[in-house]
Amino acid sequence: MVLVGSAAMYTKELDAVVFHKEPAADVSKSLFSFRLWFSTISVLLLLAVIVVRKDGFDLIALGCIVSTLLIMSRQMYTMFENRRLVLELEEKVLQRTEELLQKNKELENSTEQAKFLAGHDPLTGLPNRREFDRVAAEWAANSKNFALLFIDMDRFKWVNDTMNHGVGDLLLRQVAERLQANIKLEGRVFRQGGDEFLILLPSTDVRKVEAAVDELVQALEQVFHLHGKEVFVSASVGISSYPKDAKDVELLTIKADIAMYAAKKSPGKRWLFYDESLHPVEQSKLEMEKEMRYGLERGEFLLHFQPLYRLDIDTVAGAEVLMRWNHPKQGLLPPNQFIPLAEESRFIVRLGNWLIREVCRQWHDWRDQGYEPISLAVNISVNQFLHPEFVAELEAALREFDMDPAYLELEITENIPFCDAHAIAVLAHISQLGVRMSIDDFGTGYSSLQYIQRLPVHTLKIDRAFVYDMMQNRNNRVLVETILVMANQLELDVIAEGVEEQEQLHFLKEKGCTFVQGYLIGKPVAAEEFRLRWLG
Ligand code: C2E
Ligand code: CA
Ligand code: CA
């Protein structure tokens, strides 16, 4: 009986077994441990002694023996059952832990990947513009002297247009590799976007920088093998120095960009250092350009919408999107106060691409809110139109917001070189997408209607300059009339801009003009106001 009692002392240890580090192995081992069986064996021995001695062995003793054995077997059964459950549980816990570890690892990987993607360009694997801003700011904060190289490929556009699209990507990847492989002085390479790259060199020694640039330019002038074709390209490089040219990274980049542009335009020069004579603009303009770049990041640009009114069915058929800049100090600026400067600096490409995405997003939102779809017209600058990535950006925006291309209209001016092969290819591509096109400010340029008719253009917008005084000025009235008659023959739509008076509206309607736009119908207003006044 003492032994039976002492066996109970082990139960605590057995409970603890479950929490042991490797419980599964221990539990099964403990089933065969001598200590566990000790009490059982003792009782069995005791019963055996009772049976063997035979004295006083009667029915009561037999009953005792049988019930003790029954109790014991019941206990054994419970014990085995417990073990089985514990083992099962352990196995499940192990399995689950493994799954969790796996999930954790996956999560870690994807977080790392997201972090990498945020700072890197997916095509070339190079750190991107955002990463550049971070690193350059860090170098500047450590008051290092460094040079900034702005690199732009010279014949990329040609490669991209004449060969298929994949070739352009391949070329960019190989260019990135060559830059990485040939960079000296522990420089760092970044992709700015398109066919532009940025390099930070931790030196401002003119001779050292020149030697490094020379090596890069030569490396890029070696033959590229692209899908079995041999291709030669070259690059133009603009160089600015910190802190000599600017103490601010954004301004430093703009100056390197200016130098690059100057190098591209001067024959025989493959690189140029920035100096004030390259770009005789006032400091105030450069400041403004910097503010624009920051403004875009801070969401200071917004869209206004002016109704396009359809006369034959008396409804608002769409809107022209006009950009505004909510300047932190100067308030709401009209486009003529910033678009010309943006065009000069080529910042217009970024700004314009941003605008197209916003337009697609707005169209999608109104659609989502259940309004009938309206067409939206966007002004496109020449440089934006001619940029090698323009069509790709346009396509991506349409796809991202699931916008029906038939509702997008691009307003281009006659300044676009309609005889240029690239411009013609872009026009064809846009029309293939199903996007409509109109000629803005028609009548102020020199293109003939004959010529325009051969282009995939759907609409002419008669410039405000002819409309505003046409009721008083006979010349302008005749001109408007003539445009209407000819456009009608050529099956082009016409929008008369700048309609401010009822009289003008009557005249235009009488002469068969289908669309009008002007303060008489409505001024450009913000999206929400446009929705309230003109939609639904
Ligand atoms: P636009 O394309 O000829 O746009 C029409 C301009 O005429 C707008 O000026 C509009 O507010 C104004 N307007 C409309 N109806 C009337 C009227 O009845 N009377 C008068 N006096 N004016 C009227 P806004 O918004 O100042 O735009 C000026 C120019 O800026 C535009 O001329 C366009 O060339 C350019 N622009 C505007 N937004 C953009 C843009 O997003 N990208 C580009 N590249 N250029 C833009
Ligand atoms: Ca326009
Ligand atoms: Ca116009």
Q: What is the pLDDT of residues 482-521, one digit of tens each?
A: 999 989 988 999 999 999 999 999 999 999 999 999 999 9
Q: What is the mean pLDDT of the chain?
A: 87
Atom number, ligand 1, closest to the C-alpha of residue 335: 30
255 CB burial (10 A radius; 0-12, 13-18, 19+): buried
Which helix (H) or strand (E) segment is 441 a member of? strand 436-442
Q: Which region among 16-30, 211-225, 320-334 has the lowest average model confidence (pLDDT)?
A: 16-30
Q: Please indicate whether residue 412, judged by its CB atom, sits closer than 6 Å to ligand 1.
A: no
Residue 268's pLDDT is 79
Q: Is residue 339 in contact with ligand 1, taking CB distance under 6 Å?
A: yes
Identify the band that residue 360 occupies on the pLDDT scale cut at 50, 70 and 90: very high
Q: Is the pLDDT of residue 279 over 70?
A: no
* pLDDT at residue number 108: 87
Please check the confidence at residue 432 and state whether its pLDDT lies above 70.
yes
Nearest ligand 1 atom, CA 461: 3
Quick check: bond before 243 cis, omega within 30?
yes
Residue 524 near ligand 1, beta carbon < 6 Å: yes
- For ligand 1, whether the C-beta of 443 sits within 6 Å is no
Among 7-16, 40-49, 145-154, the range with the most confident prediction by mean pLDDT is: 145-154
Give the predicted TM-score (pTM) of the model: 0.62
Atom of ligand 1 nearest to the CA of 413: 34
User: Rounded mean pLDDT of 312-333?
Assistant: 95
User: Which pLDDT band, with edges at 50, 70 and 90, does 51 fall under?
Assistant: confident
Confidence of residue 178 (pLDDT cuts 50, 70, 90): very high
Nearest Cα to Cα of residue 30 among 17, 21, 41: 17
pLDDT-derived band at 58, boundaries 50, 70, 90: confident
Tell whether ligand 1 has an atom less than 6 A from the beta carbon of residue 376: no
- DSSP-assigned letters across all residues of 387-433: STTHHHHHHHHHHHTT--GGGEEEEE-TTS-TTSHHHHHHHHHHHHH
Structure confidence at residue 514 (pLDDT): 94
DSSP state of 140: H
Residue 30's pLDDT band (cuts 50, 70, 90): low
Q: What is the per-residue pLDDT for 353? A: 93
Residue 336 Cβ inside 6 Å of ligand 1? The answer reads yes
- Check residues 248 and 37 and name the one with the higher pLDDT: 248
Distance from residue 187's CA to the centre of ligand 2 (Å): 44
Q: In this prediction, what percent of the chain has a pLDDT beyond 90? A: 54
Lowest mean pLDDT among 67-81, 113-127, 279-293, 364-378: 279-293
Asked if residue 32 has pLDDT above 70, the reply is no
For residues 222-243, give the mean pLDDT: 90
Residue 172, pLDDT > 60, answer yes
For residue range 86-142, list pLDDT tens digits in order: 999 999 999 999 999 999 898 888 888 888 778 888 889 999 988 999 999 999 998
Distance in angstroms (rounded) separating the CA atoms of residues 514 and 391: 29
Mutate to test the pocket of ligand 1, among 379, 384, 390, 503 (most ligand atoms within 8 A of CB): 379
Which residues are CB-contacts of 125 (< 8 A; sequence separation ≥ 6)?
Answer: 176
Angle 166-167-168 from CA coordinates, rounded to 5°: 90
Looking from the CA of residue 334, the nearest atom of ligand 1 is: 26
The answer, yes or no, to whether any atom of ligand 1 lies below 6 A from the CB of 335, is yes
* C-beta of residue 339 within 8 angstroms of C-beta of residue 288: no
Mean per-residue pLDDT for 137-159?
A: 88
Sorting pLDDT into bands at 50, 70 and 90, what band is 146? very high
Nearest protein CA to atom 37 of ligand 1, as residue: 322
From the CB of 498, is ligand 1 less than 6 Å away? yes
CB 379 near ligand 1, within 6 Å:
yes
Is residue 333's pLDDT more than 80?
yes
Q: Note the Cα 4 to chain centre separation in Å.
A: 75
- pLDDT (average), residues 354-367: 97
Confidence (pLDDT) at 34: 67
The residues pairing with 331 across neighbouring beta strands, listed in sequence order, are 327
Mean pLDDT of 298-320: 95
Instruction: Tell me what the mean pLDDT of segment 32-52 comes to.
Output: 75
Whether the pLDDT of residue 193 is over 90: the answer is: no
463 alpha carbon, closest ligand: 3
What is the mean predicted confidence (pLDDT) over 303-312? Answer: 96
pLDDT of residue 418: 81
The whole-number pLDDT of residue 521 equals 96
